[in-house]
Amino acid sequence: MPAVSKGDGMRGLAVFISDIRNCKSKEAEVKRINKELANIRSKFKGDKALDGYSKKKYVCKLLFIFLLGHDIDFGHMEAVNLLSSNKYTEKQIGYLFISVLVNSNSDLIRLINNAIKNDLASRNPTFMNLALHCIANVGSREMAEAFASEIPRILVAGDTMDSVKQSAALCLLRLNRTSPDLVPMGEWTARVVHLLNDQHLGVVTAATSLITTLAQKSPDDFKTSVSLAVARLSRIVTSASIDLQDYTYYFVAAPWLSVKLLRLLQCYPPPEDTSLRSRLTECLETILNKAQEPPKSKKVQHSNAKNAVLFEAITLIIHHDSEPNLLVRACNQLGQFLQHRETNLRYLALESMCTLASSEFSHEAVKTHIETVINALKTERDVSVRQRAVDLLYAMCDRSNSKQIVAEMLSYLETADYSIREEIVLKVAILAEKYAVDYTWYVDTILNLIRIAGDYVSEEVWYRVIQIVINRDDVQGYAAKTVFEALQAPACHENLVKVGGYILGEFGNLIAGDPRSSPLVQFNLLHSKFHLCSVPTRALLLSAYIKFINLFPEVKGTIQDVLRSDSQLRNADVELQQRAVEYLRLSCIASTDILATVLEEMPPFPERESSILAKLKKKKGSSKLPDMDDSRKNVNGSSEHAEDAEVASKPPQFLLEELISTDRPHPSSSATMLPTRTMVPSHTFTDNLSVNSAPSSGASLLVDVFSDFSSAAPTEGSDEHFPRFVCKNNGVIYENQLLQIGLKSEYRQNLGRMYVFYGNKTSTKFLSFSTSVSTLQLNVQEKPVDPLIEAGAQVQQILNIECVSDFSDVPVLNIQFRYGGTLQNITVKLPVMLNKFFQPTEMTSQDFFQRWKQLGAPQQEVQKIFKAKNQMDTDVTKAKLLGFGVALLDGVDPNPTNFVGAGIIHTKTTQVGCLLRLEPNTQAQMYRLTLRTSKESVSQRLCELLPPTNAVPPATAAPLAELFTATLIWSWDAISLHRHMTSSKRGAIPALKHSGGRTVVGA
């Protein structure tokens, strides 16, 4: 190792690093590090003052030890002292240590801020750069508050050096991303825009990054940057390589700045000024022309830089979507990349062409490359490129090529990667439905789809084909004939059996005249698949059999024998047993007229959004889903499918499914506690078909999505609805004219998960959308939320919550976003109360009263007697007690009118049990409520959760507090209660219900 002098290096640090590298084992490394830490600690605590070089050396060693993965709990003050040094190397090490090791909540932040202020005021460019780099690296809110107003002044000052301007622009960009509300937007805005004219291209590059971010939030404030960006881009594009010698990268002039300028222009529509627009068009044409020129270098860096500018220019052309000539040229250029040897270029070309396919000007040009794309689908080695090829075929599909594209996708589906098969199935189903002129082709396509990839055909696909067949009389006979023939194959996928059972049950009579498909043949064919199917499919087939009795009286005896068999009447599955019993009884006692009425043909389904499209949106994300030809206009300006365009604007149906209301469940052994009203019966064919269909109108989905709740949405700034969440976990917690916030929560022991849904009710997108949760007594982990919410869209955020100990203050959700250039701040209390961490507990009568007597001390009991505020309803009282979190114990109290409950509040540190007894007096309209536990703070908090003042009118199904005023007596800590979990199965006898002009069994 070469000798290192004290003047140009730190020999001690070099020796220490060498010793670490020479360690033969982990134990030897730890021993050497501990020895060095002890030496450094003694030096820092010694009486002899250390000079700057020694401090720098020891701080460097601490930094190196930290980077090796060891904790450092000292040396921070010495690093702060280095900031006051006048030597660059010492100050640099001090800032480096602070940037890496100092926490934003450290007590030293004030000292660090003072040192940074001194360096910023020193006008020494080297020291100013170090200070700005430190601010950007730490990026804490405290630093933003201290320097957000100072940095813009440095940036626009006339005497600031270019290197400092670069650092100031990037530092301001970092603070804007971490604390956008603290970055001032005022008099310096115009001066920042004029930095695009700066002679130093490094300053222009940094300023462009800053302006692009700011323009996305406040486009009106920075719209003057468009003309400057076009002028600067024109000078770069038309310049020779020698003109920008310092910024030419492998014969490409200022590629990074060009990309940033093109990205800035994507924040705005095409310029209205004719001269400016023509100049921008000239720039884009020049970039496209240079892409056709022979490469000036064979090195990959040259092609990468050149293609980076080209792809960004094409993105801008697509964004403007106003120059047909440029769009076609861009498409042709991308077409050349489809056969390039570089995989990344082929991927990017396919991705860009997916967007081009949605433009009226370039759609036909994209279609000319269909053979190349199909070849890529068959020959590409990279699965991600093949997936983009599928996306492009889906996007370029229209009536002229739909049969070819669907056939190719079906052909590829047989050998496609398992990871993309489901997506291909959904796209084939959508295209077949969308462009089906002859619906016999649609039926053939879907049945072929089930045959090829049955495991990947979701329920939405076969639901949809049945809806279409029922709604179209002209295809019903063909569908019955086709599924009958398909079911004759030795091995049929279960989804095909489902489709065949439904269609033959409804329309088997249309093919019964042929001896080859007589009623008995149809029945035997279906029943031959019965024992190979799952329970839901068997249930569907049983419904098909009872339909056969109505359609074909001659097979009534055969079907009754099947229903009467022990395998049906004594089936272990309650659903199948129930259907067999009911259908057999119905066929025996009902007259022919009654059977014809009950089992008549299903009426047409109402037209609504395809659930397949909703599923594809959910899988891909609506922002990534190609528009196909919905946005492509004909010459006369009308859409090719007006209804498709309308569907595209509606929120997908899956949001509704995610937000279905769930009250607090009964104790259950299931890990996932589902609400009873989401358990959809499957007695008839139409049940499963209807629940997966999207709502017919999505214009008010943000409001209607919580229509299952009896309470209205809270108004802006109102906390009066907050107590409603004491006994329920879902609903709209906040709403104003801009934003609606809905919650869906689930809890288990001391852990909880909250799904927060943010709905944009306006016609303008929300920019810089960010959230934070303030809480002192809970651990809350926030999943990031999308910073951009499109108009009318809805995004979801997940909060993971941990209850550490009993608490009183609820967490607060802070929301910030920009709407129309104005910063919006909203604060919402999150309904995370102590009772949410209840675990319902089952107990015997003996155990309950034994515990009850053990906890008879005065400090363990809180009791109140109060008058009922509403009519005393036993069912409502039970529901609210269950919603509060306890398990109701039947047969425990000698008085059957009393309510007795038990539960455990789980925290990370302890478990607090609760015994509850509610004694109603119907004559006096009075209640007495008693709860017992040993934790006084818990009892106080639960008293606060149940005040009588929170009553609401009876019509709104008030929470527990509205039924009675809490009196609490609290019980034991960390007792070992045996948790008896119960599971329930639906076994209700289906009623005869009138639906759609006739009666349906079990609807």
**Tens digit of each residue's pLDDT (9 = 90 or more) over 568-577:** 888 888 999 9
Confidence (pLDDT) at 610: 66
**985 annotated ligand binder:** no
Residue 182 pLDDT level (bands cut at 50, 70, 90): confident
| Residue 748 bridge partners (DSSP) | 751
**347 annotated ligand binder:** no
690 pLDDT more than 90: no
**12 annotated ligand binder:** yes
Q: What is the pLDDT of residues 194-217, one digit of tens each?
A: 999 988 889 999 999 999 999 988
Confidence (pLDDT) at 462: 84
Yes or no: say if 771 and 814 are a contact pair by the CB < 8 Å rule: yes
Q: Which CATH architecture has domain 835-946?
A: 2-Layer Sandwich (3.30)
Q: In what helix (H) or strand (E) does residue 877 lie, and over which residues does it extend?
A: helix 874-884
The rounded distance, in Å, linking the Cα atoms of 718 and 735 is 9
In this predicted structure, which of 499-508, 553-562, 697-706 has the lowest mean pLDDT?
A: 697-706
490 pLDDT more than 90: no
**885 annotated ligand binder:** no
- Give the amino acid at 14: A
497 against 962, higher pLDDT = 497
Instruction: Provide the residue ranges of all domains of the chain, joining segments of one domain with +.
Output: 723-832, 835-946
Confidence (pLDDT) at 242: 58
* Average pLDDT over all residues of the chain: 78
Q: Reduced to 3 DSSP states, what percent helix, strand and coil does the chain have, rounded to the nearest 5?
A: 55, 10, 35
Yes or no: say if 165 and 204 are a contact pair by the CB < 8 Å rule: no
715 pLDDT more than 80: no
Confidence (pLDDT) at 168: 93
972 pLDDT more than 80: no
Mean pLDDT of 963-972: 30
- Burial label for 350, CB within 10 Å (0-12, 13-18, 19+), is buried
The rounded distance, in Å, linking the Cα atoms of 557 and 83 is 97
Neighbours of 278 (CB within 10 A): 11
In this predicted structure, which of 58-72, 307-321, 938-952, 964-978 has the lowest mean pLDDT?
A: 964-978
**853 annotated ligand binder:** no
Q: What is the pLDDT of residues 977-1001, one digit of tens each?
A: 222 222 333 333 233 233 333 323 3
Residue 783 pLDDT level (bands cut at 50, 70, 90): confident
The rounded distance, in Å, linking the Cα atoms of 752 and 743 is 13
Confidence (pLDDT) at 808: 80
Mean pLDDT of 501-518: 91
- Give the amino acid at 1: M
Structure tokens at 681: 């019966």
Residue 183 pLDDT level (bands cut at 50, 70, 90): confident
Confidence (pLDDT) at 582: 92
**61 annotated ligand binder:** yes
Confidence (pLDDT) at 700: 31
In this predicted structure, which of 727-731, 784-788, 814-818 has the lowest mean pLDDT?
A: 727-731
Confidence (pLDDT) at 9: 67
978 against 519, higher pLDDT = 519
629 pLDDT more than 50: no
User: Position of tokens 């007894």?
Assistant: 917
143 against 715, higher pLDDT = 143
678 against 594, higher pLDDT = 594
419 against 206, higher pLDDT = 206
- The DSSP code for 73 is -
The rounded distance, in Å, linking the Cα atoms of 412 and 235 is 48
Residue 539 pLDDT level (bands cut at 50, 70, 90): very high
Mean pLDDT of 381-409: 91
Cα-trace Rg, the chain? 36
Yes or no: say if 904 and 914 are a contact pair by the CB < 8 Å rule: yes
244 pLDDT more than 80: no
Is 913 in a helix, a strand, or coil?
A: strand
Residue 702 pLDDT level (bands cut at 50, 70, 90): very low
Mean pLDDT of 911-926: 83
Confidence (pLDDT) at 910: 84
- Please tell me the class of the 723-832 domain: mainly beta
914 pLDDT more than 60: yes
- Give the amino acid at 487: L
The rounded distance, in Å, linking the Cα atoms of 78 and 93 is 11
Confidence (pLDDT) at 644: 38
Is 967 in a helix, a strand, or coil?
A: coil
750 against 501, higher pLDDT = 501
Is 899 in a helix, a strand, or coil?
A: strand
Residue 179 pLDDT level (bands cut at 50, 70, 90): confident
Mean pLDDT of 912-939: 80
289 against 886, higher pLDDT = 289
Confidence (pLDDT) at 22: 92
**11 annotated ligand binder:** yes
**761 annotated ligand binder:** no
Confidence (pLDDT) at 306: 92
The rounded distance, in Å, linking the Cα atoms of 9 and 511 is 94
Mean pLDDT of 238-242: 68
Structure tokens at 665: 């469940």
Is 185 in a helix, a strand, or coil?
A: coil
Mean pLDDT of 345-360: 90
Percent of the chain scoring above 90 in pLDDT? 31
- Burial label for 311, CB within 10 Å (0-12, 13-18, 19+), is buried
User: Position of tokens 């009426």?
Assistant: 603
714 pLDDT more than 70: no
Mean pLDDT of 410-418: 88
Mean pLDDT of 524-541: 92
Mean pLDDT of 425-453: 89
What single string gives the DSSP state of each residue in 544-610?
A: HHHHHHHH-GGGHHHHHHHHHSHHHHT-SSHHHHHHHHHHHHHHHHS-HHHHHHHTPPPPPPPP---
Confidence (pLDDT) at 499: 92
Residue 761 pLDDT level (bands cut at 50, 70, 90): confident
**171 annotated ligand binder:** no
Q: What is the pLDDT of residues 844-900, one digit of tens each?
A: 888 888 877 777 777 777 777 777 777 777 877 887 888 888 888 887 888 888 888
Neighbours of 506 (CB within 10 A): 23
732 pLDDT more than 80: yes
Confidence (pLDDT) at 239: 75
pTM score of the predicted model: 0.58
In this predicted structure, which of 221-230, 347-356, 952-961 has the lowest mean pLDDT?
A: 952-961
Confidence (pLDDT) at 165: 93
Mean pLDDT of 452-477: 87
Confidence (pLDDT) at 607: 67
Provide φ and ψ at 834, rounded to 5°: -60, -35
The rounded distance, in Å, linking the Cα atoms of 113 and 106 is 12
626 pLDDT more than 60: no
678 pLDDT more than 60: no
| Residue 810 bridge partners (DSSP) | none
294 against 711, higher pLDDT = 294
Q: Strand runs (DSSP E) across 749-843, as ranges?
A: 751-760, 767-774, 778-782, 794-803, 812-819, 822-829, 838-840
Angle, in degrees to the nearest 10, between helices 201-217 and 225-237: 140
Yes or no: say if 765 and 216 are a contact pair by the CB < 8 Å rule: no
Yes or no: say if 155 and 192 are a contact pair by the CB < 8 Å rule: yes
Residue 346 pLDDT level (bands cut at 50, 70, 90): very high
